[in-house]
Amino acid sequence: MTTQSFRACRIRNDSGTVTAGIENMTLDQLSPGAVVIRVHYSSVNYKDALAATGRGKILRSFPLNGGIDAAGVVVSSENKLFSPGDEVLVTGCGLGESHDGGYSEFVRVPADWVVPLPEGLSLFDAMALGTAGFTAALAIDRLEQNGQQPGQGAMVVTGASGGVGSVAIDLLSTRGYEVVAMTRKKDATAYLEGLGAASVSDYDELISDKPLQSAQWGGAVDSVGGKVLAGLISSTRPWGNIASIGMAGGSECHATVMPFILRGVSVLGITSANCPMERRLRVWQRLVSDLQPGHLQQIVTGEIGLDDLSAVFERLLQGEHRGRFVVTM
């Protein structure tokens, strides 16, 4: 195995210039781990685009194979929990950040990163969901653990046409929530309504300097942050919850404590990369049961190969994408 050559998208840093390209590797060049997986599919996330282009400080070491997601079949395992032939997936945990990632025909990872493929989920669909879909499901899982219910009012999903937003709309609407999709993409209305959004609007109505706005939203899944998150906090109904998953619109949030102490509003931080395994397993099981997506085929924008990654990264960074890209090895 160590002499078998395979392809990988490897990211290098040459005197501060970050580049990504397809290289031939052997297994002994990969990051260490107890489980070797032949990768069938990966996916493209915004973080992947930032890492491969150097436009975000994502990678902690160079060179490194990109890709924070992988799904495939176990080739060998030093851990008794996994055997050759097992179908598995890995998302986050440092994959594609500090450890050689999923944009490779093989990965080698620690056993405690590996999730057995849930029964009823294909390897392709696991990566159609990937980190984005898992993050959306994790957000809903935390919202509902904190008491969120459909009867509390409409749920806002910001960054609605992206991967997390698309899956969040699908899952929330399937659960019986009224969903208001918010996006700046005026041509995305039909797509978002097709996923289950009851209405589509821009963010502008959220942005206000008032510490308390009219209470109109049951809660939210927010990937924008900044002024949009502050607006959501000040306009959410009593005992509503907001899942904060991103900062595309800014990392600072200028708000007051008034919505918290007068309305009981909660802001729940969502991080999928270091999610505890017990919760990780439960959320993946929910994705094949009560949180099963109903529009995954519509959410998958395209199926691409390793050679197509650079062009797709640019689309993501320019805000020209919609939904999810699955990478086929």
Q: Please tell me the CATH code under which domain 6-117+295-328 is placed.
A: 3.90.180.10
3-state secondary structure the chain: CCCCCEEEEEEEEECCEEEEEEEEECHHHCCCCCEEEEEEEEECCHHHHHHHHCCCCCCCCCCEECCCEEEEEEEEECCCCCCCCCEEEEECCCECCCECCCCECEEEECHHHCEECCCCCCHHHHHHHHHHHHHHHHHHHHHHHCCCCHHHCCEEEECCCCHHHHHHHHHHHHCCCCEEEECCCHHHHHHHHHHCCCEEECCHHHCCCCCCCCCCEEEEEECCCHHHHHHHHHHEEEEEEEEECCCCCCCCCCCCCHHHHHHCCEEEECCCCCCCHHHHHHHHHHCCCCCCCCCHHHHEEEEECHHHHHHHHHHHHCCCCCCEEEEEC
Give me the phi and psi of 163, to 5 degrees please.
Answer: -65, -50
Model pLDDT, residue 321: 80
Taking a C-beta distance cutoff of 8 angstroms, is the pair 223, 162 a contact? yes
Model pLDDT, residue 19: 95
Q: Please tell me the CATH code under which domain 132-269 is placed.
A: 3.40.50.720
Indicate the domain borders of the chain: 6-117+295-328, 132-269
pLDDT digits (tens, 9 = 90+) for 71-84: 999 999 999 999 99
Name the β-bridge partners of 104: 8
Model pLDDT, residue 3: 62
The one-letter code for the residue type at 158 is: T
C-alpha R_g of the chain? 20
Q: How far apart are CA 248 and CA 49, in angstroms?
A: 13
Taking a C-beta distance cutoff of 8 angstroms, is the pair 151, 176 a contact? no
Model pLDDT, residue 248: 84
Q: How far apart are CA 20 and CA 118, in angstroms?
A: 32
Q: Is the pLDDT of residue 1 over 80?
A: no
Over residues 126-144, the mean pLDDT reads: 98
Q: How far apart are CA 97 and CA 95, in angstroms?
A: 5
Q: How far apart are CA 44 and CA 67, in angstroms?
A: 7
User: Residue 254: pLDDT band by 50, 70, 90 thresholds?
Assistant: very high
Give the number of other Cβ atoms within 10 Å of residue 5's Cβ: 10
- In which order are the strands placed within the sheet that holds 6-14? 17-25, 6-14, 64-65
Q: Is the pLDDT of residue 131 over 70?
A: yes
Model pLDDT, residue 209: 84
pLDDT digits (tens, 9 = 90+) for 81-127: 999 999 999 999 999 999 999 999 999 999 999 999 999 999 999 99
**Helices 123-145, 163-174: crossing angle, 10 deg rounding:** 70
Give the number of other Cβ atoms within 10 Å of residue 329's Cβ: 20
User: Residue 207: pLDDT band by 50, 70, 90 thresholds?
Assistant: confident
Cα dihedral 28, 32, 36, 42 sign: negative
User: Residue 286: pLDDT band by 50, 70, 90 thresholds?
Assistant: very high
